[in-house]
Structure 1
Amino acid sequence: MLSLRGRVALVVGGSGGIGAGVVRRFARAGAAVVVHFRRGEARARELVAGIEEAGGEAVALSADLSREEQCHRLVEAAYDWKGRLDALVNSAGIQPVQDLAEMTAADWRRLSEANVTSAFSCTQAAATLMARQEGGGTITQIASIEGSRPAAGHAHYSASKAALIMFARSAALEYGPRGIRVNSVSPGLVDRPGLAEEWPEGVARWQGAAPLGRLGRPEDIGDACVFLASDAASWITGTDLVVDGGVGAGPAW
């Protein structure tokens, strides 16, 4: 594992499936981790307790990401915890399935607010603080392979993830001179409890299409985020790191 000892990371959406994997990997790499939650308080507290039992440092903070002032307050509280903020991972988001023909403008706006606007607000707040400290910082947006490969029923989700990829590149361009690196990670299908039972045909199709023959694990995404936050990626910014078991390498026909 790469070392992030002495650094502080905020994982927005840290109580979620992928977010929890990111939290665990940052803690394993030695970072002090701020675990954000909105509804998953019990899960966030469980993660913090596990990290502390293993000798690490973590704290759970709540915020409603639909409110800009709470996004800023969350980032400021994470900074105040240790007097610095070295890494931000924006992992919060929603993924409803809706046919495009039946989607309303309110549905579109709701998903965009959850997946894109919250990341914008947290990124802006974090960059302001990172620019003041020695060493700058890193920001990683959790996008998706659906940002470039759409799926039926996911028009609004795919568009939001494409927006995150371009937002990361734009932020990298503008914040680079301030010592801040910004990238995105695009996961493929990541396993969760009950997925194989709920969607057996989809899981089977994925396993058949993936050269590595398996679904992703939340920790696979966490490893990518740790790499991008580490000194091993010190000359990497504005890129999208695809973590999909090789599905994207397969033929399209």
Structure 2
Amino acid sequence: MPDGVKLDLTGTATLVTGASGGIGRGIALRFAEAGSAVAVQYHHNREAADEVVHQIEEAGGTAVAFAADLTDDAACHDLVRAAATWAGRLDTVVNNAGIQPVEDLPGMAADSWNAVIRTDLTSAFSCTQAAAGVMADAGGSIIHIASIEATQPAPGHAHYSSAKAALVMHARAAALEYGPRRIRVNTVSPGLIDRPGLATDWPDGVRRWQHAAPLTRLGTPADVANACVFLASPLASWITGHNLVVDGGVSARPTW
């Protein structure tokens, strides 16, 4: 959290999908910093996931890495059960795993569309369903990482934008149906999040973003992570079905 701001999640357990790098890594580290035991899910990059676990343990936290192919429904259920068994409980699931290919819609193959939907949307459905079963009536917090592209599509991202828009609606529907079981479901929608080399790879896009954003900078994984920790904390105990936009204010800029 920012200096002077601390949320205490000691005694809780969190599963973060897609936690081997980028935004997922930042989320896992922030939950561990807040005192939560963290299950770090990865698909292929075990070395990166182990590094996240090592970093958490070096700081005095508790973490473990689990491999899972989240495009497989059974694997999602196995992952959630394994995380809950490891920690002895499961309080929060952050559905962060996803892919973001660029492909023009007119020539997009159905296989490309389906790959994004399975990875970015259906995996969250499966992990949420599994988590709700594990949390039972003890309650918990489920957080989907969506995107401002859920409402503002970008060229070449039709599959991605559609999946993220559906994530926002899935969270609202899940909040409605799981609420009586004290399970809260929300989304966090980031704007452009910085990564090493982004300014070199996409200098025009970075300049345009900095000009458009009222806060004048790109986001960081920590910005997204802070929003997730807040939604998982007791401070958000009466917040569910909400889409928390974390974009430096760029969505406030007129589009005409």
TM-score bin, normalised by smaller chain: over 0.9
The answer (yes or no) to whether the contact 1:75–1:122 under 8 Å persists in 2 is: yes
Give the equivalent residue in structure 2 for 1:251.
Answer: 254
Match of 1:144 among 147, 156, 168: 147
**Which residues of 2 match residues 159-198 of structure 1 at below 5 A?**
159-198=162-201
* Cα distance in structure 2, aligned partners of 1:16 and 1:162: 23
User: Structure 2: where are the runs of 5+ without partners?
Assistant: 1-5
Give 1:218 deviation, angstroms. Answer: 0.4
Correspondence 1:44-63 to 2 at 5 A: 44-63=49-68
Correspondence for 2:77: 72
Counterpart check, 1:87 vs 2:92: yes
Runs of 4+ in 1 over 2 A off after TM superposition: none
Secondary structure of 2:38's match? strand
Q: Which amino acid aligns with 1:36?
A: Q
CA–CA separation in structure 2 for the residues paired with 1:235 and 1:40: 37
Q: One-letter code of the match for 1:117? A: T
Which residue pairs with 2:121 in the alignment? 116
Amino acid at match of 2:161: S
Alignment match, 1:97: 102
Instruction: Name the SS of the counterpart of 2:106 in structure 1.
Output: helix
Letter in 2 for 1:5: T
Q: Report the CA distance between 1:16 and its aligned residue.
A: 2.6
Gaps of 5+ in 1: none
What is the aligned residue count?
A: 251
Are the equivalent residues in 2 in contact too, given 1:144–1:188 (CA < 8 A)? yes
**So what's the TM-score if we normalise by structure 2?**
0.97
1:36 equivalent in structure 2: 41
Partner of 2:212: 209
For each residue in 1:16-67, what CA deviation from the matched residue of structure 2 results, as whole angstroms up to 9, or x when unmatched?
3110010011011110000000112111111111111111101111101111
2:20 to 12, 15, 21: 15
The aligned amino acid for 2:142 is I
Paired with 2:61 and 2:187, the residues of 1 have a C-alpha distance of 26
The one-letter amino acid paired with 1:187 is P
* 1:145-170 C-alpha deviation (Å, 9 max, x unpaired): 00000101111110000000000000
SS of 1:131's partner is: helix
Percent identity, please: 63
Deviation at 1:83, TM superposition (A): 1.3
Give the CA deviation at 1:177.
0.2
Partner of 2:215, secondary structure, is: coil
In 2, Cα distance between equivalents of 1:250 and 1:5: 39
Distance in 1 of aligned mates of 2:21 and 2:59: 21
For 1:127 and 1:113, locate their aligned partners in 2 and report how far apart those are by CA, in whole Å. Answer: 20
- Cα distance in 1 for partners of 2:8, 2:107 equals 48
TM normalised by structure 1 equals: 0.98
Q: What displacement does 1:105 show?
A: 1.2
- CA deviation vs aligned residue, 1:57-88 (integer Å, no higher than 9, x gap): 01111101111111100000000012110000
- Aligned amino acid, residue 192 of structure 1: R
Q: Is the 8 A contact 1:16 1:92 kept in 2?
A: no
Q: Distance in 1 between matches of 2:191 and 2:173?
A: 23
In structure 2, the partner of 1:5 is 10
Letter of the 1:78 partner, please give it.
A
